Structure 1
Amino acid sequence: MSPHLLLVTGSGRSGTSSVAGALKRLGLHVPQPEVPADEKNPRGYYEPQWVTEFHKRVLNPVPVRTIDTRPTAGAIAAEAGGRPEVEAELREWLSGQLDAEQVLVKDPRAFWILPVWTRVAGELGADVSTLTMLRHPTEVVRSRDSAYLTEQTPTFRRQRETANVAAWVNAAFETERSTRSLGRAFVRYADLLADWRTALHRAGEQAGLTYNADLTVNEPHPVDDFIDAKLNRSAITWDDIAVPAQLRDLAEQTWQAMNTLVDSPQSRDAIASLARLREDYVELFDFSEAIAMDATTARVSEGKREVRRKLRAEIDELQREVEDLRSRRSSFFRR
């Protein structure tokens, strides 16, 4: 029987850790060591540490961020992930992880370079499927605010909220596109918390997974103690977030189309809708970039001036040190 590689992805703060923790308890193997739990995620991340570092090595130099608003980010990431040395590094690691029947790799960055994962896994004889977590963009944004932006100014937080919604939309398009040729499942975070058995039974059938329990019956399972409905603390609406109306409407339509994929992962109507919405997003992004051009140019110019100021200060300091050394040398020879 061929090993099975499941890649869990989805926007950060969308429940990827919760579903990965549940799947681990249902018998899937998470390669060790894992990223340790912390105050932002005390229940654990369930991410192989090697994978997170690997993705950083590939994506940070480009750079493509975990959440990236640029419509071109997918192509940039694909080029970075397609380098022969990247493929060789992944092959060396993954070849030592496929002894288990079902291997779980979770990292929100995975969708950026999914082709290299599927290509290498296929060459190693593994079947590949994906599970993508879905959470409403307003809840994702507010959860990110709570986790990362509590010390920032209101103005900065409003700017980041708009950027995070845009990044959520962009990630939705890229994830759907990159997983289309695979066995795939989409799971709403709210469904996972409300009735994890029904949500993961459906996802398991769609992604070709087997579990250590029959999820069609309500027998006690360790996942019962792991999944906590109170985790969904960010139940908010668009009225709670300052986002431009055009972006808000585009994000809401994207959310509705992605929801269709929960029951029908290859829905032609949803895929066509997402393709049209992506065209609208690219247009909105281009217009926004044009409007912000002067501000961007000014920031770049100020950055260059700051670099020159620092270099000038460093040169002046070095010159003072040289003059001091010359003075000491002259004093020494006058003795």
Structure 2
Amino acid sequence: MADPKTLPLSDTTVIVTGMHRSGTSLLAGLLGKLGLRQANLLMPPNQANPAGYFEPPDIAALNDEILGRVDRSWADPKPMPDGWMASGALTGIAERARDLFGRRFDSPRGAVVKDPRFSRTLPVWLKLMAEIGTTPVIFIASRHPAEVGASLCRRDGMSSDHAERLWASYFLEAEHGSRGCRRCVVRYEEMLSDAPQALVSAFADMGVDLGPVDAATTAELRDFVDGALHRNRLAQAEDQGPAGPDDLATRLFAHAGGDRRLVDHEKLARFHRDWQADWTRISPGAQRSDFMTRFPGWYVSRSQDLLQSGGDVDEAMALLHRAAELAPAHFRPHHLMGNVHAHLGELPAAVAAQRRAIAFNAGFMPAHMALIRGLRQMGTVEEAIRAARHALKLEPGHTNARHLLGVLLAEAGDMDAAIDAQREVIARNDSIVAAHLALCRALLQTNDVDGALRSATRAVEIAPDTLGAQHLLGSVLARRGEWEGAIAAQQRALALDGAFVPALVALSRALSSAGRTDEAIQAAQRANEVAPNHAVAKTLLKRLLAEGEG
């Protein structure tokens, strides 16, 4: 049943929400392919979401702050406190939301904004939509609670009971917050099986005129889903949680399958009453629930906040140990412990922690990368090479791992293999400056100066304000005897950092070779001022002064 008045899509602001790990990112990405404008700043992709989150990080952060001000968090399944919108806890939030939305979108109309936390904070944003004169359209992504629970258990160490209650709270608060809006539930499996049809059907149900979807757009939607479908199949065995009891989340999921627009208000009201009564029984009062003190992710998050704010490292480590106690076989606390140990220079402990993380999640690439770096810092280059090769067996397309393997092979003296590794990285992504620089250094070791010049020149083209690129280009030009070019490159490097001693030394040598002895002495003197104990700079200055006297 469509709304009486059909709206053009260009007159709406599409809000994508739903439980975490339910396909909100996939849905927001698909809507972007349909031509809706994304925010001008989006959270970058990572291993959990290689295609991207399509989520403005500062809007997500503001939603986290809103939740925190009423003693909730993204992971606390307890309902929002009664009257939370009218409480003094949200002073200044409306103004900040308006300012932030205006900075992320030139115009609200024809835009799509996504955050799973909107499920709980929708009233704040719907009030803003009314003030700026746009019509909100709400998409609620839905995935089976057992699959979501299995995913959250693997990612965050969350218990199945916790995940089920969180799923129910996200759904019911999204339903309650979006009443009176054009809204539709879109199932994850529908997006995977036929995304174009799922979107066309959802917009039609809500009375929104999507306009014609041509063959090229349809193909683009299917291509976008193909990547998600591939990742879904890879994770399917791990995310295929047990069917579980006939809990509230499972019943809500089943209900939404037949009531996509959530128009059965009587039945939804019964769900809400049961949900509220259950929470009144298990966690009376307005304070956060006890689920948080039993959730490893809560301690992990608190430790990360401490470390990012320059807080007490010992306290952060104690929080991570508590997370590990709650979920002994969960990888994330061990990975973060390893990062802290590495930051403190405790390399054997860092390596041991990353090995534990990998034992609990063999496919977690950040732990593999941290392990490789730790082994390299310990000077065990051959072991680091083996670790890098193992990581690449798990994820052959991981460019950072392949780049690091190339660096390690060069350190081990295997220049041909190092060159091959960096060239493969560049073939996958030509914009990685570090790969061009590493390739340049390896080519210099094999006396392929022309090839090294091409690599250094490309690095400077990509990132002209990169100190290392300008310095290395100058070094290559010096190897070719092109002294004026070498001088100019080192001067550009020093314009970026006037105290960079390698560039001062290289500049002094190039000036000397170009017959500009006085300037060479000045550069060498500056290098000695910056680093009085730099042996090469001291020797160079002594030689130049002797030559000048001669």
TM-score by length of 2: 0.45
Q: SS state of the match for residue 92, structure 2?
A: helix
In the alignment, structure 1 residue 66 sits paired with structure 2 residue 74: yes
The question of 1:9 aligning with 2:13 is answered no
Looking at structure 1, the residues matched to 100 and 238 of structure 2 have their Cα atoms a distance apart, in angstroms, of 42
Given the alignment, which residue of 126, 136, 151 partners 2:134?
A: 126
Structure showing greater Rg: 2
The answer on whether the counterparts of 1:187 and 1:203 sit within 8 Å (CA) in structure 2 is yes
SS in 1 for 2:53: coil
The CA deviation string for residues 187-243 of structure 1, in whole angstroms up to 9 with x for no partner, is 01111100111100012223455557527x697532221113344446689995496
**8 Å Cα contact 2:118-2:174 kept in structure 1:** no
Moved more, 107-116 or 182-191: 107-116
> 1:136 & 1:32 partners in 2: Cα distance?
32
Misfit runs of 4+, over 4 Å: 79-82, 207-213, 217-220, 233-243
Aligned: 1:87 with 2:94: yes
**Is the CA contact 1:15–1:135 (under 8 Å) kept in the aligned structure 2?**
yes
CA distance in 1, matches of 2:83, 2:36: 32
Change (3 A) 1:7 1:219: closer
Q: Kindly tell me: are residues 235 and 70 of structure 1, through their superposed partners in 2, closer, same or farther at Cα, counting changes over 3 Å? A: same
Question: Which residue pairs with 2:527 in the alignment?
Answer: none
**Greater helix content:** 2
- The alignment status of 1:204 with 2:225, answered yes or no, reads no
Q: Please identify, of 18-27 and 274-283, the stretch whose mean Cα deviation from structure 2 is larger.
A: 274-283
Partner of 1:167: 166
Aligned to 1:259: 257
CA distance in 2, matches of 1:65, 1:35: 19
Q: Which residue of 2 aligns with 1:135?
A: 143
* Residue 90 of structure 1: how far off its partner (Å): 1.4
Which consecutive residues of structure 2, in runs of 5 or more, have no partner in the other structure? 1-7, 285-289, 295-313, 315-550
**CA-to-partner distance for each residue in 1:154-203, whole Å, 9 max, x for gaps?**
xxx5xx21111011112211111111110111101111100111100012
Name the SS for the 1:221 alignment partner.
Answer: helix
Deviates more, 1:272-281 or 1:234-243: 234-243
Q: Secondary structure at the match of 1:129?
A: strand
Give me the whole-angstrom Cα distance separating, in 2, the residues matched to 1:33 and 1:142: 30
Aligned residues: CA RMSD: 3.2
Which residue does the alignment assign to 1:272? 266
1:223 is matched with which residue?
A: 221
Q: 1:207 to 1:85 in 2, by over 3 A?
A: farther
**Partner residue, 2:354:** none
Q: Which residue of 2 aligns with 1:78?
A: 85
TM-score by length of 1: 0.72
Contact 2:70 2:81 in 1 (8 A): no
Indicate if the aligned counterparts of 1:68 and 1:171 stay in contact, CA closer than 8 A: no
Number of the residue aligned with 2:247: 249
Q: Say which SS state the counterpart of residue 186 (structure 1) adopts.
A: strand
Higher alpha-carbon deviation: 32-41 or 111-120: 111-120
Once the two structures are TM-superposed, the CA of residue 136 in structure 1 deviates from its matched residue by 0.9
Q: C-alpha separation between the residues in 2 aligned to 1:81 and 1:186? A: 33
Query: CA, structure 1 residues 181+91, in 2 after alignment: closer, same or farther (shift >3 Å)?
Result: same
Instruction: Give the conservation status (yes or no) of the 8 Å contact 1:67–1:167.
Output: yes
CA distance in 2, matches of 1:74, 1:259: 29
Q: Is the 8 A contact 1:11 1:67 kept in 2?
A: no
Partners of 1:137 and 1:36 lie apart in 2 by 26
Classify 1:253/1:126 alpha carbon distance in 2 versus 1 (closer, same or farther; 3 Å). same
My pick for the range that moved more, 224-233 or 187-196, is 224-233
| Pair 1:279–1:239, CA change in 2 (3 A) | farther
Distance in 2 (alpha carbons) for counterparts of 1:286 and 1:100: 38
Distance in 2 (CA, whole Å) between partners of 1:44 and 1:238 is 20
